[in-house]
Amino acid sequence: MNLKVASYNMRKAIGTDRRRSPERVLQVLREVDADIVCLQEADRRFGQRVAVLTPHLLEEHGDWQSVGLGMRASSMGWHGNAILVRKSARVVACEQLHLPALEPRGAVMADVAINGVTVRIVGMHLDLSGLWRRRQAAAILAHVAGNAERLPTVMMGDLNEWTRAAGCLRDFGAAFRLAETGPSFHARRPIARLDRIMVSPELRITACGVHHSPASRVASDHLPIWAELAPQ
């Protein structure tokens, strides 16, 4: 099994030029060319939480299908968290995770059969508050650990954590290995490693990084991060 995963806070497709362009986000995703992508801020924030990447756009411009996580008919994700997988992949199970928070926050999980293996994918966008981030991390870790079926697991998202030595990254790091992807925020001049990919001991990170391109520097205020994985 060789698998490429990616995480991208697409900022509702509003670029650093303040224009909304879903097509530009899809261009970046095509450049990254990952088998599985966790998206943050994939839906509009207000009203019906309409998906920014519509099924029509995905069908016409991408090689991915959206995992059925939306609670509304017009939404792609849960509190903006969404998962895209190759059209050739099979989604075995999926669910939304309710997280403790002062403002609406959630995480998403899917078991995906792809490239000859079934992996568990967790996507998240954690709070700006360090205290609530740690509570949310604890809830996610407890949910994953409490699942009756154990699978190789990849957790990805915008963790909003600036330092690896403390907070939720230390909590996640007790059981998961962090990919050394590099700074991904702000897209025009990345200095912060707010976006993270973490894998369980069954998986090995063979390569990882941040995707820099003319399109990615303008499509969102975050750059996408990626990792290539193989069995241990």
Going along the chain from its start, the domains and CATH numbers come out as: 3-231 (3.60.10.10)
Do the beta carbons of residue 229 and residue 205 sit within 8 Å?
Answer: yes
Separation of first and last alpha carbons in the chain: 10
Q: Quick one: pLDDT at residue 102?
A: 80
Q: Quick one: pLDDT at residue 60?
A: 86
How many CB atoms lie under 10 A from the CB of residue 72? Answer: 13
The vertex-31 CA angle with 10 and 121, nearest 5°, equals 60
Structure tokens, 28: 């970046």
Evaluate if residue 71 carries a pLDDT over 80: no
Mean pLDDT calculated for residue range 69-90 = 90
Q: Quick one: pLDDT at residue 41?
A: 96
Evaluate if residue 185 carries a pLDDT over 70: yes
Torsion of CA 119, 107, 173, 112, to 10 degrees: 0
Q: Quick one: pLDDT at residue 47?
A: 62
How many CB atoms lie under 10 A from the CB of residue 59? Answer: 11
Q: pTM for this structure?
A: 0.96
Least-confidence region, from 52-66, 130-144, 199-213? 52-66
Mean pLDDT calculated for residue range 70-89 = 90
Mean pLDDT of the chain: 94
SS3 content of the chain, % helix, strand, coil (to 5): 20, 35, 45
Q: Regarding predicted confidence, which is higher, 30 or 59?
A: 30
Tens of pLDDT along 82-104? 999 999 999 999 999 999 988 87
Q: Which pLDDT band, with edges at 50, 70 and 90, does 227 fall under? A: very high
Q: Quick one: pLDDT at residue 96?
A: 96
Evaluate if residue 163 carries a pLDDT over 90: no
Mean pLDDT calculated for residue range 49-73 = 87
Q: Quick one: pLDDT at residue 116?
A: 92
Percentage of the chain beyond pLDDT 90 is 84
User: Measuring CA to CA, which residue among 59, 53, 107, 58 is closest to residue 76?
Assistant: 53
SS3 69: coil
How many angstroms separate the Cα of 139 from the Cα of each of 27, 126, 132, 134, 143? 34, 11, 10, 9, 6
How many CB atoms lie under 10 A from the CB of residue 87? Answer: 11
